[in-house]
């Protein structure tokens, strides 16, 4: 049986609150098990250029509460090419790294799967994205924090909406996934959520209007997921102006405020569990998997599955929203 002796660890794709807590967990769980840790800076880019530093336990002190990623993150086009990945592999050989732990989302795992196959190297992924759009895990690291950030922002906008008796469309992140929109709508008592998942079957804006959604209210808040399918909050507001000029809507796009900030307790616990689970996965001789949680149990999900399948939003929450917004 081959035991991993030295891992490389990197963060890639969009940053998410809780990445640092996961970096801490990966580092400490590895050291606890007698495995060396080499931190790779700026995602796959640093793997190609060799921006690497060996981490001891104190390198991850005092970071559990910090948003962002101390390893920095970058998008790396070179890693999409065979030559780029070959350079990355040469770095691993030079550094004596015999397995990788990658923290990121869908794209990060797509690259990881190819790399693992091409060079026969074990790679384990830790799901970090505020969008929660990864199949095979109930939650991704960063999602809970982003949800709370959105809820707090919407609470503030609600004060203005109430005072001026206005309708607001508030756009939240999600990259064609409605988890943040739907759950933040319920959590902030919004009147409705417009999510990409059901756009082809239901004209959500028209349905809202037909419901007479402002009849008994002096203000209304509708959460809109960013999406090409609806055009996001701006697209929905433009449609409203054209088709129902009797309504006067304001648009707020929350933007990058949703990605930052100190992680919630829930994200810190998830990051700690999954970071430690990534090392367990390597000790269990897993080679090309994402670690996740399903029904509060840690699971290993082959990259293939995590990447290819779509995770469904819980559409019954739309009914809850409808019932509670009368």
Active site residues: 131
Q: Which H or E run includes 299?
A: strand 297-302
| Interface with ligand ATP, residue 13, by CB under 6 A | yes
| Interface with ligand ATP, residue 104, by CB under 6 A | yes
Q: Which H or E run includes 125?
A: strand 123-127
Shorter beta-carbon distance to ligand ATP: residue 16 or 161: 16
d(CA 55, CA 313): 38
Burial degree of 94 (CB within 10 A; 0-12, 13-18, 19+): exposed
The correct pick among 17, 46, 67, 105 for binding ligand ATP (CB under 6 A) is 105
The one-character DSSP state at 1 is -
d(CA 185, CA 49): 43
Residues in contact with ligand ATP, counted by CB under 6 A, come to a total of 17
Shorter beta-carbon distance to ligand ATP: residue 14 or 263: 14
Shorter beta-carbon distance to ligand ATP: residue 88 or 233: 88
d(CA 277, CA 56): 19
The one-character DSSP state at 105 is -
Least distance (Å) from ligand ATP to the CB of residue 111? 3
Least distance (Å) from ligand ATP to the CB of residue 189? 28
Do the beta carbons of residue 220 and residue 167 sit within 8 Å?
yes
| Interface with ligand ATP, residue 292, by CB under 6 A | no
In sign, the C-alpha dihedral spanning 17, 19, 20, 21 is positive
Strand 220-225 to strand 167-172: parallel, antiparallel, or no bridges (unpaired)?
A: parallel
Among 148, 128, 150, 149, smallest CA distance to 140 is for: 128
Contacts with ligand ATP in 58-77 (CB under 6 A)? 75-76
| Interface with ligand ATP, residue 12, by CB under 6 A | yes
| Interface with ligand ATP, residue 89, by CB under 6 A | no
| Interface with ligand ATP, residue 80, by CB under 6 A | yes
Shorter beta-carbon distance to ligand ATP: residue 140 or 148: 140
Among 252, 8, 270, 25, smallest CA distance to 130 is for: 270
Least distance (Å) from ligand ATP to the CB of residue 74? 7
d(CA 275, CA 31): 12
Question: Nearest-CB residue to ligand ATP?
Answer: 107
The correct pick among 18, 22, 27, 44 for binding ligand ATP (CB under 6 A) is 44
d(CA 290, CA 303): 6
Shorter beta-carbon distance to ligand ATP: residue 25 or 112: 112
Shorter beta-carbon distance to ligand ATP: residue 142 or 235: 142
The correct pick among 114, 151, 229, 317 for binding ligand ATP (CB under 6 A) is 114
| Interface with ligand ATP, residue 46, by CB under 6 A | no
Mark the segment that binds ligand ATP (CB under 6 A) among 9-17, 147-155, 215-223, 281-289.
9-17
Q: Say how far residue 323 (Cα) sits from the centre of its chain.
A: 29
Query: Please, how many CA atoms are within 13 Å of residue 225, restricted to the half-sphere of its CB?
Result: 27
Q: Which residues bind ligand ATP (CB under 6 A)?
A: 12-14, 44, 75-76, 79-80, 104-108, 110-111, 114, 129
């Amino acid at each position: 049986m081959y035991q991993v002796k030295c891992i490389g660890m990197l963060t890639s794709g969009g940053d998410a609150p809780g990445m640092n807590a996961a970096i801490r967990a990966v580092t400490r769980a590895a050291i606890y098990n007698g495995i060396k840790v080499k931190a790779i800076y700026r995602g796959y880019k640093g793997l190609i250029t060799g921006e690497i530093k060996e981490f001891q336990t104190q390198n991850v002190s005092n970071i559990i509460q910090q948003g962002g990623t101390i390893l920095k993150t970058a998008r790396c086009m070179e890693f999409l090419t065979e030559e780029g990945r070959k350079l990355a592999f040469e770095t691993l050989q030079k550094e004596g790294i015999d397995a990788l732990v990658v923290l990121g989302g869908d794209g990060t795992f797509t690259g990881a799967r190819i790399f693992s196959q091409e060079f026969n190297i074990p790679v384990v992924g830790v799901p970090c994205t505020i969008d929660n759009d990864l199949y095979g895990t109930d939650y991704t690291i960063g999602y809970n924090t982003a949800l709370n950030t959105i809820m707090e922002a919407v609470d503030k906008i609600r004060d203005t909406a109430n005072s001026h008796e206005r309708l607001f469309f508030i756009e939240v992140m999600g990259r064609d996934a409605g988890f943040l929109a739907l759950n933040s709508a319920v959590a902030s008592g919004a009147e409705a959520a417009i999510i990409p998942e059901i756009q082809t079957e239901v004209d959500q804006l028209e349905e809202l209007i037909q419901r007479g959604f402002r009849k008994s209210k002096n203000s209304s808040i509708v959460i809109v997921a960013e999406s090409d399918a609806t055009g996001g909050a701006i697209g929905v507001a433009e449609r409203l102006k054209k088709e129902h000029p009797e309504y006067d809507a304001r648009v707020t796009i929350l933007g990058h405020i949703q990605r930052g900030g100190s992680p919630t307790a829930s994200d810190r616990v998830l990051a700690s569990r999954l970071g430690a689970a990534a090392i367990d996965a390597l000790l269990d001789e897993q080679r090309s998997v994402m670690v996740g949680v399903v029904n509060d149990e840690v699971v290993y999900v082959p990259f293939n599955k995590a990447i290819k399948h779509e995770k469904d939003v819980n559409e019954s929450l739309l009914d809850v929203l409808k019932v509670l917004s009368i």
